[in-house]
Amino acid sequence: MNIVILSRNALLYSTDRLVEEGKKCGHVIEVIDPLMCDIIIEKEKPTIYYQDRYLDYVDAIIPRIGASVTFYGCAVVRQFEMMNVFTTVTSDAILRSRDKLKSLQHLSKAGIGMPKTVFTNYSRDAREVIEYVGGAPVIIKLLEGTQGLGVVLAETKSAAESVLEAFNGLQARVIVQEFIKEAKGADLRALVVDGQVIGAMKRQGLEGEFRSNLHRGGTANIIKLSSDELKLAMQASKALKLPVCGVDMLQSARGPLLLEVNSTPGLEGIENATGRNIAKSIIAFIEKSIK
């Protein structure tokens, strides 16, 4: 098969691993920068032009679309869909997952447990918003933040009010969530491929750091998920129509609580922590789907 990985950097660990495993399985693998693609819209013949050729020979794509290029990257994925090319993640699913508010609304409707969450349109009554989620401490997140950026822990009511008022003054849209103290700065990442959990790790933040992201110095170790945690991860994947994704959750006194779902999860942390060949599983999912 001819498989294209849509990635801006062929040297990234995740991209390189997918290339490696795809070639081992006998496929022709290309890494293509989605921002370098021209979308050609014609009656009954949608096509994509890249550098010196039309991409009319592609059998499948693996989108590795960064948050900063979501709009054009998803337009390229959508064009491949119009060309009847298989994609591991659809453009609509990427867009749905990148919109934190929309994804939480979908997940809530699906009956998935999550921390108490409030979104308001620049509410002047910050105190009331804080009370909705059970009072301080609270987590305040920018809707467009990634990798732990744009996430604030406000430990007191006055601090939370100040942060909310500052964000409101900047007209920055945020969500406010309850702080799950018993998680102790750790979270779980489950990697889902073809709707099934194939690997999971527990990420622990640095001492004094409430964010557990590996990009911020956190550590990761393999973990065996409970039946409730497995169920939550697979339900979240299904609710957002993301057969390949990373599902982040917290361990709480009332069971696992979903944090967010990542449509293009990195492979380095999870492969190193679990010893699982996640990249090969993604290639196998493509083979199975096209057959």
Reported as a pLDDT band with limits 50, 70 and 90, residue 251 is: very high
Residues 13-30 pLDDT 10s:
999 999 999 999 999 999
What's the pLDDT score for residue 124? 65
Identical topology for domains 117-179 and 182-280: no
Mean pLDDT for the chain overall = 90
Rounded to two decimals, the pTM is 0.88
CA of residue 203 relative to chain centroid, distance: 16
**Domain positions in the chain:** 2-90, 117-179, 182-280
* 148 SS3 class: coil
The architecture (CATH level 2) of 182-280 comes to 2-Layer Sandwich (3.30)
Sign of CA dihedral 48, 53, 56, 62: negative
Residues 41-78 pLDDT 10s:
987 789 999 999 999 999 999 999 998 899 999 999 99
CATH topology of domain 2-90: Rossmann fold (3.40.50)
What's the pLDDT score for residue 279? 98
Residues 215-249 pLDDT 10s:
555 788 999 999 999 999 999 999 999 999 999 99
DSSP secondary structure, 67-124, as one string: GGGHHHHHHHHHHHHHTT-EESS-HHHHHHHHSHHHHHHHHHHTT-----EEE-SS-S
- Its CATH class, for the domain covering 117-179, is alpha beta
287 strand-pairing partners: none
* pLDDT of 209 above 60: no
What are the start-end ranges of the H helices in the chain? 13-24, 70-82, 91-98, 100-109, 126-132, 157-169, 227-239, 268-274, 278-290
